[in-house]
Amino acid sequence: MALVETRDLVKKFGDLTAVDHISFTVGRGEVVGFLGPNGAGKSTTMKIISGFLEPTSGSAFIAGHDSHADPILARRHLGYLPEGAPAYSDMSVAAFLEFVAGMHGLSRATANNRLAELVERVDLAGVWNQRIESLSKGFKRRVGIAQALVHDPDVLVLDEPTDGLDPNQKHEMRQLIRSIAANKAIVISTHILEEVEAICSRAIIIAKGRMLADATPQQLMERAPEQGSFAITISSAQPQVAVDLLGAQSGVARIEIVRHSNGSARLLVHAGEVKPNAQDLISLLGRSNIVVEEFYQERARLDEVFRQITHSVAGH
């Protein structure tokens, strides 16, 4: 059973359609990255899933409960980190987490056990009795995560969990998410693409409220324009010779001379439908006595794919 499901979600703010027919499901064990440019409708979609906003049409389900018709049941299964990780700044970390645990209906004993575990897991021991307003951004974000985990929910919806964290904190946050991913359904929104590669089993790309892709990071990479192409630096005064040689190879669509100076040239070999074989290209150049200084296989980058996909609607 899908733990999170949206069916044809639409949300309009006046004339603006912020969310435009978004449908997807997330099962247990999945970490779905919600990607999109700013203002794409990521946060609005998450607010609807959590039940904070009502959709104009369509519905959202958490563990099978409609988050609007059946909000209490749905929310029992939900851990939610709103955008910006809001928390009551006048409370201590301990008081705040105890408050949230109580609101989830945990008994005092259960709450204490859970909190003791979370202190370790989210590393909050050092600030346990500190007021939230005095915490650094990284700790505030951790408090937000702890708050979402207090009742050990099946579903986690985290709106930009690593926003504003330094690289070390980002790394820790990702490790934390990975460590709890196995028996939960997790949706995180982000605009950091490396994050998707690092923790997500699936990525959903939205722009202008519409879903443009729903695929694994690997599948998305295969759409990258530079997938399977090569960057080759040769020492040759006449790179055109190499270009002609390589251009005749099967799988080579197009060759660019990116740089040509001081008897050395950098070529970019774009692949066609069938990828050329790296070994073949190297031995071909070797046979023609062209000295290869560098030979890279270009790695597909998700941000290229992202740009390509989101640009197709940006013109609207």
Partner 1 sequence: MMKSSVRSLILLRGIDMRTIGLIFRREFSAYFATPLAAVFLAIFLALAAGMCFFVAGFFDRAQADLSGFFLWHPWLFLVLMPAVAMRLWAEERRSGTIELLMTLPVHVWEVVVGKWLAAWAFAGLALVLTMPVWITVNFLGSPDNGVILASYIGSWLMAGAFLAISSCISALTKSQVLAFISSAAVGFLFVMAGFDLVLAGLRSWAPPLVLDVVRSMSFIGNFQRITDGVLEMPSMIFFVSLIIFALWLNVQAIDVKKAA
Report the C-alpha dihedral over residues 83, 115, 98, 63, rounded to 10 degrees: 60
* Exposure class string for 196-229: b at 16+ Cβ within 10 A, else e: bbbbbbbbbbbbbbbbbbbeebeebbebbebbbb
Is 76 a binding residue for partner 1 by CB under 8 A? The answer is yes
Is 64 a binding residue for partner 1 by CB under 8 A? The answer is no
Residue 48 and residue 280: Cα distance in Å, rounded?
53
Of 189, 152, 161, 188, nearest in space to 78 by CA: 152
Write down the residue that tokens 């049941």 correspond to. 73
Among 99, 152, 163, 249, binds partner 1 (CB under 8 A): 99
Is 3 a binding residue for partner 1 by CB under 8 A? The answer is no
Q: Least CB distance from residue 226 to partner 1, whole Å?
A: 40
Q: Which is nearer to partner 1, 69 or 274 (CB)?
A: 69
Among 78, 119, 165, 206, binds partner 1 (CB under 8 A): 78
Is 304 a binding residue for partner 1 by CB under 8 A? The answer is no
Among 29, 52, 283, 314, binds partner 1 (CB under 8 A): 52
**Residue 114 and residue 150 in contact, taking contact as beta carbons nearer than 8 Å:** yes
Among 8, 90, 166, 194, binds partner 1 (CB under 8 A): 90
Is 88 a binding residue for partner 1 by CB under 8 A? The answer is yes
Tell me which residues touch partner 1 (CB under 8 A): 13, 47, 50-54, 71-73, 75-76, 78, 80, 82-84, 86-91, 99-100, 102-105, 147
